[in-house]
Amino acid sequence: MSTAVNSKTQNTLLQPILIALATLITLVMNTLAVVLPLNNRSTGAISDSFRVYFTPAGYVFSIWSVIYTALIAFVVYSFLPRNRTNATIQAIFPWFMLNCAMNSGWIFLWHYGYYPLTMLVMLGLLFSLVMIYIRLGVGETSYTGGAFWCLRFTFSVYLGWICVATIANATALLYDMQWSGFGVSPATWTSIMLIVAVTLGAIITETRNDALLVGVLLWAFIGIGVKHSAVPTVGVSAWTAVACTAALVLRCVWLSRGKRLQGA
């Protein structure tokens, strides 16, 4: 009997242990990228070497501290006895493992200058988060307490930032390839990408009512406006995007309030 119980306990602990190890590897890789740094190049310095306008001001990247703190909370949450067989965590588990692999792989490729591969890996990172987001049922499932902060908050913020990072990665790659932009100026292309990003925010608002994800877009657009206000086309586009996205966040709040009132 004791052997059977121990075996069951070990089986239920396997998933949270793997989640913890994958998260630890991701955190170590990102820490080494800053502390060493990898290939004697910091992540920020590499970003700054690309003269593109979609990159926000440096302080905006502090959102990674929020994301990694939230991921640590997710690890702790997965170890709680009641969550070791949690169906939601089981559903996102394989995609989370892929996500950690993509995150760590991206750091290595970015620091060693394999920019075309970074784009492929970034798309894999984005895809894994989209799958987690769908399996969490954001906008369809109500989360409260620890589930809200460790699942809903964690992956909404993470996905929001990776949406921005994917566009930024694409602009860096095109710059590295010396793409001419079909004769369209980089500032105009940035305006177009901001329109696309705001449209994404509008779609998320109407389909998922996710103020967290849209709020991350707002955070990034403010950073772009702050950094590139001296470039008229980019500055005007960025601050317009800020105004539009702020309105979307307010709409999310309004929609959520309406649902609560209906539920009452």
Whether pLDDT at 6 is above 60? no
Which of the residue ranges 4-8, 31-35, 225-229 would you say has the lowest mean pLDDT?
4-8
Task: For residue 199, give both structure tokens.
Answer: 């449209």
What six digits make up the tokens of 159? Answer: 């996905």
For the segment 34-41, the average pLDDT, to the nearest whole number, is: 92
- H-type alpha helices, the chain: 2-35, 43-48, 63-79, 87-111, 115-136, 145-147, 154-176, 186-208, 211-228, 232-263
| Sign of the dihedral through C-alpha 55, 60, 62, 66 | negative
* CA quadruple 233, 63, 173, 133: dihedral sign: negative
- Express each pLDDT in 240-259 by its tens digit: 999 999 999 999 999 988 77
Q: Which two tokens stand for residue 222?
A: 């403010």
Query: What are the φ and ψ backbone dihedral angles of 49, each rounded to 5 degrees?
Result: -75, -15
Give the span between the Cα atoms of 74 and 187, in whole angstroms.
39
DSSP 138: B
d(CA 217, CA 221): 6
Give the model's pLDDT for residue 257: 85
pLDDT mean over 15-26: 98
Cβ atoms within 10 A of the Cβ of 193, count?
20
- Phi and psi at 141, nearest 5°, equal -115, 135
Local structure of residue 141 (DSSP, 8 states): B
Domain ranges for the chain, please list them.
11-259
**Candidate from 2-6, 28-32, 216-220 with smallest mean pLDDT:** 2-6
When pLDDT is cut at 50, 70 and 90, the band that residue 5 belongs to is very low
CA distance 20 to 18: 5
User: What is the band of 10 on the pLDDT scale with cuts at 50, 70, 90?
Assistant: low
Backbone CA torsion sign across 200, 201, 207, 208: positive
For residue 64, the SS3 value is helix
Average pLDDT score, the chain: 94
pLDDT of res. 78: 98
Q: Are 20 and 79 in contact (CB under 8 A)?
A: yes
> Percent of the chain, pLDDT > 70?
94
Are 156 and 208 a contacting pair, CB within 8 Å? no
**What pTM value is reported for the model?**
0.95
pLDDT tens figures, 89-147: 999 999 999 999 999 999 999 999 999 999 999 999 999 999 999 999 999 999 999 99
Burial of residue 22 (number of CB atoms within 10 Å: 0-12, 13-18, 19+): buried
Residue 1 has pLDDT above 70, yes or no: no
